[in-house]
Protein backbone atom coordinates (compact mmCIF):
# COMPACT_ATOMS: atom_id res chain seq x y z
CA UNK A 1 0.00 0.00 0.00
CA UNK A 2 2.78 2.45 0.90
CA UNK A 3 4.62 1.62 -2.32
CA UNK A 4 1.52 2.60 -4.34
CA UNK A 5 1.15 5.82 -2.37
CA UNK A 6 4.83 6.61 -2.90
CA UNK A 7 4.50 5.92 -6.65
CA UNK A 8 1.43 8.15 -6.89
CA UNK A 9 3.22 10.96 -5.05
CA UNK A 10 6.23 10.57 -7.32
CA UNK A 11 4.06 10.84 -10.45
CA UNK A 12 2.22 13.86 -8.99
CA UNK A 13 5.54 15.57 -8.19
CA UNK A 14 6.78 14.95 -11.73
CA UNK A 15 3.61 16.50 -13.16
CA UNK A 16 4.08 19.56 -10.98
CA UNK A 17 7.61 20.01 -12.27
CA UNK A 18 6.44 19.58 -15.86
CA UNK A 19 3.58 22.03 -15.34
CA UNK A 20 5.94 24.90 -14.65
CA UNK A 21 6.45 27.16 -17.68
CA UNK A 22 9.46 26.49 -19.86
CA UNK A 23 11.04 29.14 -22.07
CA UNK A 24 13.99 28.43 -24.32
CA UNK A 25 15.06 31.14 -26.73
CA UNK A 26 11.67 32.89 -26.78
CA UNK A 27 9.72 29.61 -26.92
CA UNK A 28 6.48 29.41 -24.97
CA UNK A 29 5.69 25.93 -23.64
CA UNK A 30 2.82 25.43 -21.20
CA UNK A 31 0.98 22.55 -19.58
CA UNK A 32 -2.46 23.60 -18.38
CA UNK A 33 -1.86 27.39 -18.54
CA UNK A 34 -2.89 29.44 -21.56
CA UNK A 35 -0.28 31.17 -23.70
CA UNK A 36 -1.04 34.81 -24.52
CA UNK A 37 1.16 36.71 -26.96
CA UNK A 38 0.40 40.43 -26.48
CA UNK A 39 0.07 42.75 -29.46
CA UNK A 40 3.44 44.05 -30.63
CA UNK A 41 5.35 41.10 -29.10
CA UNK A 42 6.40 37.75 -30.53
CA UNK A 43 7.44 34.24 -29.51
CA UNK A 44 9.43 31.70 -31.49
CA UNK A 45 7.37 28.51 -30.91
CA UNK A 46 4.16 28.08 -28.92
CA UNK A 47 3.49 24.58 -27.57
CA UNK A 48 0.54 24.00 -25.31
CA UNK A 49 -0.87 20.87 -23.63
CA UNK A 50 -4.40 21.11 -22.19
CA UNK A 51 -4.48 24.87 -22.77
CA UNK A 52 -4.99 27.46 -25.52
CA UNK A 53 -2.84 29.92 -27.47
CA UNK A 54 -4.14 33.46 -27.97
CA UNK A 55 -1.70 35.21 -30.31
CA UNK A 56 -2.48 38.90 -30.72
CA UNK A 57 1.19 39.40 -31.63
CA UNK A 58 3.38 37.31 -33.94
CA UNK A 59 4.54 33.72 -33.71
CA UNK A 60 7.84 33.35 -35.51
CA UNK A 61 7.68 29.58 -36.04
CA UNK A 62 5.24 26.78 -35.08
CA UNK A 63 2.11 26.55 -32.95
CA UNK A 64 1.28 23.09 -31.55
CA UNK A 65 -1.72 22.60 -29.26
CA UNK A 66 -3.15 19.44 -27.71
CA UNK A 67 -6.65 19.70 -26.21
CA UNK A 68 -6.98 23.46 -26.61
CA UNK A 69 -7.71 26.23 -29.09
CA UNK A 70 -5.60 28.58 -31.20
CA UNK A 71 -6.50 32.18 -31.96
CA UNK A 72 -4.30 34.01 -34.48
CA UNK A 73 -4.92 37.76 -34.74
CA UNK A 74 -1.89 38.76 -36.83
CA UNK A 75 0.49 36.07 -38.13
CA UNK A 76 2.15 32.76 -37.52
CA UNK A 77 5.13 32.37 -39.82
CA UNK A 78 5.21 28.57 -39.99
CA UNK A 79 2.80 25.70 -39.09
CA UNK A 80 -0.30 25.61 -36.88
CA UNK A 81 -1.13 22.09 -35.61
CA UNK A 82 -4.06 21.41 -33.26
CA UNK A 83 -5.35 18.13 -31.82
CA UNK A 84 -8.83 18.16 -30.24
CA UNK A 85 -9.38 21.91 -30.45
CA UNK A 86 -10.20 24.71 -32.84
CA UNK A 87 -8.26 27.24 -34.92
CA UNK A 88 -9.68 30.73 -35.32
CA UNK A 89 -8.02 33.48 -37.37
CA UNK A 90 -8.96 37.12 -37.44
CA UNK A 91 -9.46 39.02 -40.69
CA UNK A 92 -6.22 39.73 -42.60
CA UNK A 93 -4.23 37.17 -40.57
CA UNK A 94 -1.48 35.07 -42.15
CA UNK A 95 -0.18 31.56 -41.54
CA UNK A 96 3.13 30.94 -43.30
CA UNK A 97 2.94 27.22 -44.02
CA UNK A 98 0.39 24.54 -43.05
CA UNK A 99 -2.72 24.38 -40.89
CA UNK A 100 -3.48 20.89 -39.55
CA UNK A 101 -6.42 20.17 -37.25
CA UNK A 102 -7.61 16.81 -35.89
CA UNK A 103 -11.05 16.54 -34.25
CA UNK A 104 -11.80 20.25 -34.24
CA UNK A 105 -12.97 23.20 -36.29
CA UNK A 106 -11.07 25.75 -38.36
CA UNK A 107 -12.44 29.24 -38.95
CA UNK A 108 -10.62 31.49 -41.41
CA UNK A 109 -11.66 35.15 -41.50
CA UNK A 110 -11.69 37.56 -44.44
CA UNK A 111 -8.45 37.89 -46.45
CA UNK A 112 -6.64 35.22 -44.41
CA UNK A 113 -3.59 33.73 -46.13
CA UNK A 114 -2.41 30.15 -45.60
CA UNK A 115 1.01 29.69 -47.21
CA UNK A 116 0.70 25.99 -47.95
CA UNK A 117 -1.84 23.23 -47.14
CA UNK A 118 -4.97 23.22 -44.99
CA UNK A 119 -5.96 19.83 -43.51
CA UNK A 120 -8.98 19.34 -41.25
CA UNK A 121 -9.48 15.73 -40.15
CA UNK A 122 -12.81 14.85 -38.52
CA UNK A 123 -13.92 18.42 -37.96
CA UNK A 124 -15.45 21.43 -39.63
CA UNK A 125 -14.03 24.09 -41.90
CA UNK A 126 -15.47 27.56 -42.21
CA UNK A 127 -13.47 29.76 -44.54
CA UNK A 128 -14.43 33.15 -45.96
CA UNK A 129 -14.59 33.42 -49.75
CA UNK A 130 -11.62 35.79 -49.66
CA UNK A 131 -9.39 33.33 -47.74
CA UNK A 132 -6.32 32.43 -49.80
CA UNK A 133 -5.01 28.87 -49.38
CA UNK A 134 -1.91 28.47 -51.55
CA UNK A 135 -1.64 24.67 -51.33
CA UNK A 136 -4.22 21.93 -51.02
CA UNK A 137 -7.41 22.15 -49.00
CA UNK A 138 -8.67 18.94 -47.41
CA UNK A 139 -11.53 18.71 -44.91
CA UNK A 140 -12.90 15.41 -43.64
CA UNK A 141 -16.15 15.90 -41.69
CA UNK A 142 -16.68 14.31 -38.29
CA UNK A 143 -19.47 12.01 -39.48
CA UNK A 144 -16.91 10.07 -41.55
CA UNK A 145 -15.32 9.05 -38.24
CA UNK A 146 -18.48 8.49 -36.17
CA UNK A 147 -20.65 6.67 -38.73
CA UNK A 148 -18.48 3.52 -39.03
CA UNK A 149 -17.92 3.57 -35.27
CA UNK A 150 -21.68 3.71 -34.60
CA UNK A 151 -22.40 0.98 -37.17
CA UNK A 152 -19.77 -1.30 -35.59
CA UNK A 153 -21.19 -0.58 -32.11
CA UNK A 154 -24.70 -1.43 -33.29
CA UNK A 155 -23.48 -4.70 -34.82
CA UNK A 156 -21.71 -5.63 -31.58
CA UNK A 157 -24.83 -4.85 -29.52
CA UNK A 158 -27.01 -6.96 -31.83
CA UNK A 159 -24.56 -9.90 -31.75
CA UNK A 160 -24.29 -9.81 -27.95
CA UNK A 161 -28.09 -9.58 -27.64
CA UNK A 162 -28.57 -12.56 -29.98
CA UNK A 163 -25.99 -14.64 -28.08
CA UNK A 164 -27.70 -13.90 -24.76
CA UNK A 165 -31.13 -14.74 -26.20
CA UNK A 166 -29.80 -18.02 -27.63
CA UNK A 167 -28.29 -18.98 -24.26
CA UNK A 168 -31.59 -18.15 -22.55
CA UNK A 169 -33.51 -20.39 -24.97
CA UNK A 170 -30.97 -23.19 -24.42
CA UNK A 171 -31.34 -22.87 -20.64
CA UNK A 172 -35.13 -23.04 -20.79
CA UNK A 173 -34.97 -26.00 -23.20
CA UNK A 174 -32.69 -27.88 -20.80
CA UNK A 175 -34.29 -26.97 -17.46
CA UNK A 176 -37.77 -25.85 -18.39
CA UNK A 177 -39.50 -22.67 -17.48
CA UNK A 178 -39.63 -21.73 -13.81
CA UNK A 179 -43.01 -22.33 -12.17
CA UNK A 180 -45.37 -19.41 -12.02
CA UNK A 181 -46.03 -18.45 -8.40
CA UNK A 182 -49.68 -18.75 -7.38
CA UNK A 183 -51.66 -15.55 -7.44
CA UNK A 184 -53.05 -14.38 -4.11
CA UNK A 185 -56.81 -14.78 -3.83
CA UNK A 186 -58.84 -11.71 -4.58
CA UNK A 187 -60.56 -10.40 -1.47
CA UNK A 188 -64.14 -9.54 -2.10
CA UNK A 189 -65.69 -7.03 0.17
CA UNK A 190 -69.37 -6.67 1.05
CA UNK A 191 -71.54 -5.71 -1.91
CA UNK A 192 -71.95 -2.00 -2.40
CA UNK A 193 -75.45 -0.67 -1.68
DSSP 52-116: -EEESSEESS-EEEESS-EEESSEESS-EEEESS-EEE-TT-EESS-EEEESSEEEE-TT-EESS
pLDDT at 15 over 80: no
pLDDT at 190 over 90: no
CB contact set of 38 (below 8 Å; sequence gap of 6+): 56, 57
| 118 and 149 housed in the same domain | no
Total tally of structural domains belonging to the chain:
2
Asked, for residue 180, whether it belongs to a domain, the answer is: no
| 6 and 19 housed in the same domain | yes
| 94 and 128 housed in the same domain | yes
What pLDDT shows up at residue 161?
94
Could you tell me which of 37, 98, 19, 32 has the C-alpha nearest to residue 67? 32
Asked, for residue 193, whether it belongs to a domain, the answer is: no
What pLDDT shows up at residue 46?
92
What pLDDT shows up at residue 36?
92
Backbone angles phi, psi at 33, to 5 degrees: -120, 130
Helix (H, G, I), strand (E, B) or coil at 22: strand
Average pLDDT, stretch 71-78? 90
What pLDDT shows up at residue 140?
82
pLDDT tier, 170 (very low <50, low <70, confident <90, very high otherwise):
confident
Share the mean pLDDT of the chain: 84
What pLDDT shows up at residue 149?
84
The verdict on pTM exceeding 0.95 is no
pLDDT at 115 over 90: no
pLDDT at 192 over 70: no
Average pLDDT, stretch 152-180? 88
57 and 39 in contact (C-beta within 8 Å)? yes
Average pLDDT, stretch 29-58? 91
Residue of 12 and 34 predicted with greater confidence: 34
| DSSP category for residue 167 | H
Backbone angles phi, psi at 190, to 5 degrees: -65, 150
| 50 and 37 housed in the same domain | yes
Residue 125 belongs to what domain range?
Answer: 2-141
| 113 and 170 housed in the same domain | no
Amino acid sequence: MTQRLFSALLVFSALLVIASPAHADKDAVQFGSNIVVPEGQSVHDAVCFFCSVNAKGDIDHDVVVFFGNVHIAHQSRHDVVVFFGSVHTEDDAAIGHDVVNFFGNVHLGENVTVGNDLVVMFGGLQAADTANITGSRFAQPIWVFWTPLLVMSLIIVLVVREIRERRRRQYFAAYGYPPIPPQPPVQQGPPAQ
